[in-house]
Structure 1
Amino acid sequence: MILDYDLSSIQEARDVARKAKQAQEILAEFTEEQLEKILLAMVKAVEENAEWLAKMAVDETKYGVFEHKVVKNLFAARDIYEHIKDIKTVGVIREDKVKRVVEIGVPMGVILGITPTTNPTSTTIHNSLCAIKGGNSIVFAPHPNAVKCSNATVQILHEAAVKAGAPQGVIGSISKISMKATDELMHNEDISVIVATGGSAMVKAAYSAGKPAFGVGPGNVPAFIERSANIKQAVQDIIASKTFDNGMICASEQAILADEPVKDEIIQELKKQGAHFLNKEEVDKVGKVLMTPKGGLNPALVGKSPRFIADKAGIAIPEGARILIAPLDGYGVDHPLAHEKLSPVLGFYTVKDWLEACYLSINLLKLGGIGHTFSIHSQNDEIIREFVHKPVFRIVVNTPSALGGIGYTTGLTPSMTLGCGTWGGSSISENLGPQHLINVKRLAYGIKAYEAKASEPKTPACNFSSDEIAGLVRQVLKQLQAG
């Protein structure tokens, strides 16, 4: 029976990929205006179904906050569209009239999107818009715990796209989820490129599939509150970020680094705004239930409320506690809450100054967030600029890190797929957009003549007649025969 399911899931994967390939060959001929019509229809469909999809995601995955998932769905449609609508992706996209180089955008082909259980609907929306914008088709391999909501999202997007003129099969997904089916898609000849959003093992598998891939790794974001910061606003931003969808965006803060001169003020403000500080025994209890013995996240507690986590840990917390704060004096194996938590739980450290904050942030990032995101709250621009040397590709300043990292509250490219660069094992170091999902041809005209230089060696002229050459050959042959 298991064998039959695996075989049928593999066959479904092949069928979905083949249909997407056929659709893409048609879509590749579409003009920018035709693609624009399809995108607008997809955005409108998301707007009409954002709440329903959010409810499906919460009901199926048991993760996060309904209202915040609605926000993420609308962000992945409206904000992404507003950002990408003027990006040239097909036909002539750039022309340098001085260097006489013309750049022409062409689709990559069929995109495979591997989506997470934390942001299943919004990631599907984002990746679909980016794919279609570049004239690509896309198929999805959803997370096993988010199949229904992911496929519902695909269905809504596909129906809207087809009604607007797109070919059948342009957006697809597998419904029979298995490792073999996902593996089939990753290696299928009809798939051109992989966009993998999720755990490190899955991202590594995508990069090992033998074809181009965009994978994004985990975040373990340190948030440094420097002594010149607006403490009230900094705390407000951090709590807003950490409670947004119960902390499931990978760019959300994982530890506060409090500058020692303002530590007491930070603690007081955190408590005032609904944070509950755990004692040492409670830190140990929460650490044991939130993280596995091997150092990974307990999936049963991802995206859960502080009350749910406290109950599982067997501790009492005040009614209305918005986040749990775990004071820590180290990091690594003996400090499980120093790792990425994807829940409304924050580590808390005290640092002497910004230099110690630099050192500590690097070590925290090395636990699993290298290349991803760093957050700083400060009014001292000289100190802020010092952090550009740290091993991350997003440094968000005076803003909620989760929302700043995805481009909701900052000028970064709005995206649900955040590259971590080579430091984090990613092929891109920025937020993924449609510009990453096209190939670019270049038409290059000659702009300077090539002339042989006088100093270049010339082939010596031959002044021997044919009879003289024949005589020389006979002499050489006689010498060789004579030994």
Structure 2
Amino acid sequence: MNLRDRDLVSIQEVRDLIVAAKKAQLIYKKYNQKEIDKVCQAVADAGVTNSKKLAIMANEETGFGNVDDKVIKNIFASKMVNDRYKGTKTIGVINNDYKNKVIDIAEPVGVIAGLIPSTNPTSSVFYKAIISLKAGNSIIFSPHPNAKNSILEAVSIIRKALEKTGAPVNLVSSMETLTIGATKELMSNKDTKLILATGGTKMVRAAYSSGTPALGVGPGNGPAFIDKSANITKTINQIVDSKTFDNGTICASEQSVLVDETIVPRVKKAFNDANCYFMSKEECLKVSKYIMRSNGTMNPLIVGKTAHKIAELAQIEIPINTKILIAEDDLDNIDVNNPFSREKLAPILTFYVVKNETQAIDTANRLLRVEGAGHTAMIHSENKNVIEKYGESVLASRILVNSPGSLGGIGATVNLNPALTLGCGAIGGSSTSDNVSPLNLVDIRREAFGVRDLDDIKADIKGLDAATNVDVSKEFIESIVKQVLDEVRN
């Protein structure tokens, strides 16, 4: 099959999937909350049961991360996500504000397009499927080509779970013939109502420019400030655990540490004791050549690899027990063209020395402006004032306090929504700053009861007239009131 024919076949495949997903969702939207929760539980249970199988498949197919941590991610994305929303109302009346006489009614958006990355392939499928189903929607996945087989297996497992509950299996489906044209069709088709996009900057921008509402997430570049008041041993252990979790493939993981100059020797010792390796300038230069590609994107050769694999690639010698490669860098070198200033989804960490919390904030924001604005930042401190100042000033949507970045950002070690789609807000080019939940995937209709009459509004305006000593005629007041009411009606 030539490229043109393959493109046409894939586009027709997507159109057929959308028709089937739409029919399934029209049936599913009649389910009550109890029935929907039963479906979500079945999918979550299937995720736990198959967590190891899918972890092995994803690891073998992509070469990223490690099996044990991918098992944890699969269980997090199925059981922990579902457990968090068991008691959440997502269908029909979800809130009744008796005092203000406003009722909130949730309405499913319909067919959702789910773009799946290669770094968290099977876990992302379960997470996006569960939050979509919880909100009464259907979802069609566009797999990353490098993780196609493991993604399709995850989808197959979910469909079998749906079938057992009696729910329409086409509530969850996936493209199989992967082309750019097909993904564009999925995103821009009139019956696709929302896009859940997780992945590279180029793909997320394509989602936002498709003409369909999108919830997209770009790269992270999380800076972690280690304040002089921090518990250093605990802090370094958390950072090492976080940065090595699945070999650094979670975008909320630490990319740099900003260390108060008064504690630098103690922090370095703690890193050394935790089997981290401080590279020489020559070694940094060798490693830097493999972090980014010539087009400015991350080099997949280092993504999700161990420190030893990266050292072998760069032809440097490191101790056998090394967990993380650390590059000491100057604040003056922070720049988009410096690989150590960028996101590194691998056990590579950049080390900066700062004078105080003011310089730490400035440095964190400089790094986030290079990449990752609006995503995630960390602070390790016991000083309430420093923590508050950092939180108010750093350009991140989630500021994690005394928590590992990777598992904190996704809501596993802090009380944020458990999620694998982490909004970056307007500053990061995202339509939300939330950890995306089922409530991001419904439209809220509001039934509002009358609480004041036209005469009340006129009286309020007359009171304003008297208070400001402004001569406002009766005719002017009535014309303004009429204009307001006309706008409301329209």
Task: Give the shorter-chain TM-score range.
Answer: over 0.9
Of 307, 323, 341, the residue aligned with 1:338 is 341
* Cα distance between partner residues in 2 of 1:98 and 1:359: 44
Alignment of structure 1 residues 48-67 onto 2, 5 Å: 48-67=49-68
Contact kept in structure 1, 2:255 and 2:349, CA below 8 Å: yes
Distance 1:13 1:445 in 2: 43
Paired residues of 2:336 and 2:370 also in contact (CA < 8 A): no
Instruction: Give, in angstroms, the shift of residue 334 of structure 1.
Output: 5.3
Determine the structure 2 residue equivalent to 1:475: none
Inter-partner Cα distance in structure 2 for 1:187 and 1:396: 36
Tell me, yes or no, if the aligned pair for 1:323 and 1:345 is still in contact at 8 Å. Answer: yes
AA at the equivalent of 2:122? T
Deviation, 1:106, is: 0.9
SS of residue in 1 equivalent to 2:96: strand
Of residues 442, 449, 458, the one that matches 1:445 is 449
Deviation at 1:130, TM superposition (A): 0.5
Who is 1:371 aligned against?
A: 374
Mapping 1:267-306, distance limit 5 Å: 267-306=268-307
Contact 2:375–2:398, Cα closer than 8 Å, also in 1: yes
Partner of 1:299, secondary structure, is coil
- Greater CA drift, 440-449 or 194-203: 440-449
Tell me which residue corresponds to 1:42: 43
Matched with 1:471 is: none
**Conserved? CA contact 1:42–1:157, under 8 Å:** yes
Look up the equivalent residue of 2:269 and give its one-letter code.
Answer: Q
Per-residue CA distance 1:82-140 (angstroms, 9 max, x = gap):
11111111011001112211111110000100010100111111110000001100000
**What corresponds to 2:466 in structure 1?**
none
Distance (whole Å) between structure 2 residues aligned to residue 441 and residue 291 of structure 1: 46
SS of 1:373's partner is strand
Give the match for residue 323 of structure 2.
Answer: 322
Deviations 1:222-270 (A, max 9, x none): 1111111000001000000000000010000001111110000000110
Partners of 1:168 and 1:128 lie apart in 2 by 12
Contact 2:116–2:124 under 8 Å retained in 1 = yes
Structure 2 residues not aligned, in runs of 5+: 463-472, 477-490
Indicate whether 1:410 and 2:411 are aligned.
no
Task: Please list, as runs of the form range in 1=range in 2, the aligned pairs for 1:80-159 lying within 5 A after superposition.
Answer: 80-159=81-160
Alpha-carbon offset, residue 73 of structure 1: 0.3
Shift of 1:333: 4.7
Amino acid at match of 2:259: A
CA distance in 1: counterparts of 2:145 and 2:166, whole angstroms: 31
* Aligned-residue offset at 1:425: 0.5
- For the pair 1:456 / 2:474, whether they are aligned, the reply is yes
For residue 449 of structure 1, report the CA deviation from its aligned partner: 2.4
Q: Who is 2:470 aligned against?
A: none
**Percent identity for Structure 1 against Structure 2:** 44
Q: Which residue of 1 aligns with 2:425?
A: 421
- Is the CA contact 1:295–1:336 (under 8 Å) kept in the aligned structure 2? no
**Rounded Cα–Cα distance in structure 2 between residues aligned with 1:335 and 1:96:** 52
1:437-482 Cα offsets, whole Å, 9 max, x none, are 0011111111222226696339xxxxxxxxxxxxxxxxxxxxxxxx
Flag the structure with larger Rg: 1
Q: Distance in 2 between matches of 1:450 and 1:175?
A: 59
Distance in 1 (CA, whole Å) between partners of 2:336 and 2:293 is 11
> Quick check: 1:391 aligned with 2:398?
no
- Is 1:28 the counterpart of 2:29? The answer is yes
C-alpha contact (below 8 Å) 1:109/1:191 kept by paired residues: yes
> Counterpart in 1 of 2:486?
none
Distance across 2 between alignment mates of 1:291 and 1:331:
15
What are the Cα deviations for residues 364-409 of structure 1, in whole angstroms up to 9, with x where unaligned? 1111110011111111110011112211111001111111100000
Structure 1 alignment gaps of length 5 or more: 459-483
CA distance in structure 2 between the aligned counterparts of 1:132 and 1:176, rounded to whole angstroms:
24
Once the two structures are overlaid, the 10-residue window that deviates more, 441-450 or 171-180, is 441-450
SS of equivalent to 2:197: strand
Aligned AA for 2:442? Answer: I
Larger mean CA deviation between 289-298 and 127-136 belongs to: 289-298
Per the alignment, residue 478 of structure 1 pairs with none
Alignment partners' CA distance in 2, 1:410 and 1:151: 31
Partner of 1:432: 436
Matched, 1:347 2:350: yes
For 2:77 and 2:218, the matched residues in 1 are separated by: 20
Amino acid at match of 2:475: P
**Deviation at residue 335 of structure 1 after TM alignment:** 2.6
Indicate whether 1:380 and 2:398 are aligned: no
Deviation at 1:295, TM superposition (A): 3.0
Is the partner of 1:436 in helix, strand or coil? helix
TM-score normalised by L of structure 1? 0.93
**Residue pair 1:328, 1:335 contacting (<8 A) in 2 also:** no
Q: Provide closer, same or farther for how the CA distance between residues 168 and 313 of structure 1 changes in structure 2, counting only shifts above 3 A.
A: same
- The CA deviation string for residues 55-85 of structure 1, in whole angstroms up to 9 with x for no partner, is 1100111101110000000000111111111
Find the counterpart in structure 2 of residue 196 from structure 1.
197
Deviation at 1:422, TM superposition (A): 0.3
Structure 1 distance, partners of 2:102, 2:321, is 61
What amino acid does structure 2 have at the position aligned with 1:317? Answer: I
Find out whether 1:400 has 2:404 as its counterpart: yes
Question: In the alignment, which residue of structure 1 is the partner of 2:469?
Answer: none
